[in-house]
Chains A and B, each alone.
Chain A
């Protein structure tokens, strides 16, 4: 059994380069998604219907169609419109546009959650709308949505496995190809699974470090529940006289 694992691990260079491609294209897609999400959230919160309507369309169309279909459109259908993207380019675009729609909604929620009083106070201090957004609303909104945004990055890394359908040699697709050569099914997909775990945990760790440096006071990612005496919960709260 051990020899099966060492045999499967002979392809470690191929696995690592596939993991590197997965990681790089996920980061590129995430950058695109962040830009689209921020612009989308701004447009959705705009007072002009000309901006609101296309942003709403974007979110509803993308969120309500499968990401695999969007990849097929980017790779197989766009050439009919004269746009030839390489498999990796099509993958980055499809993933970025898809997650951008989710980020639009996440950012919108984060911006809306900033108390109205903050904006009013900024106006009282004679800050213009742009400076209010950049210096008052955005920092607090980012704080609100940070954990959800990191989640989306992890989603991109995992979702990139679908790109094997448009021939991107990413980790899952590469594992499939290696598996068809050495036929060690459990070992090949086991190695791929461990590499995904390493990548997503690294991303989570890096995100936690960035959060600690960027947010003051620090974000509390885990709220510890108050320890209650279990018996006390059964007894109705004592009414104050």
Chain B
């Protein structure tokens, strides 16, 4: 009996040790400081640009009937790869996995409706914004909810790892939050009456309401505007600078606007750069 118990204790210790070892490894990430070791050079030499995008977030990212990634964010990533003269490889991710994907070096950049926040910028670096969004409220037409104030005690669906959960609770702390893995699951929860409303990117929700006439979406943003950029690993100024330079070209050439119109069917509602 004693032997067995001490073995169990040993197994537990080994488990804890393994976890802390992993922690030790993670803090030894190398940072690319010179031009030669920049992700920019690696991408050009390797011939492939690895991009994480959220493919459950139409029309930003979705999977077409033949299983290929498509959408606004996917087109942005493709335009970036074309400018570099390399192939694009899109990897599906979720809101919560965007930063881990970057930190573990699985992708070169994240193009997934990635709102620029100073908190996130403590771990990764953001490019200049390329698309702007308000966060609007989606609900069933029959429910008639038009503001968060009406939703005290009701449930509001958001996605894990997005900025919405905290934003909603700041506006109305009496709202019950349900956190889903994907925006698609949150929309399904509203459609099936499992959540009374959801808060998400205005571009995304406008598209969802267009697809399903039983849904309605508010016109005004329930939280301040969100500026979305391309996320890269911190400590690689060469790569970040290239992306910003390319974005300037992408925006001024009108390419960005035409891609937006292609996917959303309307002109961008807010200017890409903020005015103070």
- What 1/0 flags go to B186-221 for Cβ under 8 Å of A? 001100111000000000000000000000000000
**The residue from A4, A167, A176, A186 contacting B178, defined by CB atoms under 8 A apart:** A167
B26 touches A183 (CB 8 A): no
> Complex: how many Å from CA A169 to CA B160?
11
Q: Is A5 an interface residue (CB 8 A)?
A: yes
**What is the chain A residue whose CB lies nearest that of B104?**
A185
> Complex: how many Å from CA A180 to CA B120?
9
Q: Is B181 an interface residue (CB 8 A)?
A: yes
Q: Across the interface, which residues of B come within 8 angstroms of A180, CB to CB?
A: 95-96, 99, 160-162
> Complex: how many Å from CA A124 to CA B212?
69
Q: Is A135 an interface residue (CB 8 A)?
A: no
B120 touches A4 (CB 8 A): no
Shortest C-beta distance, B147 to chain A (Å), equals 22
**The residue from A4, A167, A179 contacting B96, defined by CB atoms under 8 A apart:** A179
A77, A176, A179, A181 — which one has the most chain B CB atoms within 10 A of its CB? Answer: A176
Given contacts A173-B179, A180-B95, A183-B120, are A190 and B20 in contact (CB under 8 A)? yes
Shortest C-beta distance, B164 to chain A (Å), equals 11
Shortest C-beta distance, A37 to chain B (Å), equals 27
- What 1/0 flags go to B1-29 for Cβ under 8 Å of A? 00010001000100110011011101100
Q: Is A53 an interface residue (CB 8 A)?
A: no
- What 1/0 flags go to B128-171 for Cβ under 8 Å of A? 00000000000000000000000000000100111001100000
Shortest C-beta distance, A140 to chain B (Å), equals 25
Q: Is B118 an interface residue (CB 8 A)?
A: no
Shortest C-beta distance, B275 to chain A (Å), equals 30
Given contacts A165-B185, A173-B179, A185-B100, are A190 and B23 in contact (CB under 8 A)? yes
Q: Across the interface, which residues of A come within 8 angstroms of B162, CB to CB?
A: 180
Shortest C-beta distance, B6 to chain A (Å), equals 14
> Complex: how many Å from CA A201 to CA B12?
9
Q: Is B180 an interface residue (CB 8 A)?
A: yes
A179-226 interface with B by 8 A CB criterion: 179-181, 183, 185-187, 190, 193-194, 197, 201, 222
Given contacts A76-B192, A80-B192, A169-B179, are A186 and B22 in contact (CB under 8 A)? yes
**The residue from A76, A164, A193, A197 contacting B194, defined by CB atoms under 8 A apart:** A76
Q: Is B37 an interface residue (CB 8 A)?
A: no
> Complex: how many Å from CA A165 to CA B95?
13
Given contacts A201-B12, A222-B4, are A84 and B194 in contact (CB under 8 A)? yes
Q: Across the interface, which residues of B come within 8 angstroms of A91, CB to CB?
A: none
Q: Is the interface of B mostly helix, strand, loop or mixed?
A: helix
B103 touches A177 (CB 8 A): no
> Complex: how many Å from CA A88 to CA B129?
39
**The residue from B23, B122, B193 contacting A183, defined by CB atoms under 8 A apart:** B122
**What is the chain B residue whose CB lies nearest that of A183?**
B123
A186 touches B193 (CB 8 A): no
Interface residue count on the A side (C-beta < 8 Å):
31
> Complex: how many Å from CA A87 to CA B186?
13
Give residues in B with beta carbon < 8 Å to A. Answer: 4, 8, 12, 15-16, 19-20, 22-24, 26-27, 95-96, 99-100, 103, 119-120, 122-123, 157, 160-162, 165-166, 178-181, 185, 188-189, 192-194
Give residues in A with beta carbon < 8 Å to B. Answer: 1, 4-5, 75-77, 79-80, 84, 87, 164-167, 169, 173, 176-177, 179-181, 183, 185-187, 190, 193-194, 197, 201, 222
Q: 19 A–B contact pairs at CB < 8 A? A: A4-B27, A75-B194, A76-B188, A79-B193, A165-B185, A166-B180, A173-B160, A177-B165, A177-B179, A180-B99, A183-B123, A185-B99, A185-B100, A186-B22, A186-B23, A187-B23, A190-B23, A193-B15, A194-B15
Which A-B residue pairs are the 8 nearest by beta carbons?
A180-B161, A190-B19, A167-B178, A79-B192, A183-B123, A186-B23, A180-B96, A186-B26
Having A79-B192, A180-B160, A185-B103, one finds 13 other A-B pairs with CB under 8 Å, namely: A1-B27, A75-B194, A79-B194, A166-B180, A167-B179, A167-B185, A173-B160, A180-B99, A185-B26, A185-B99, A187-B23, A190-B23, A201-B8
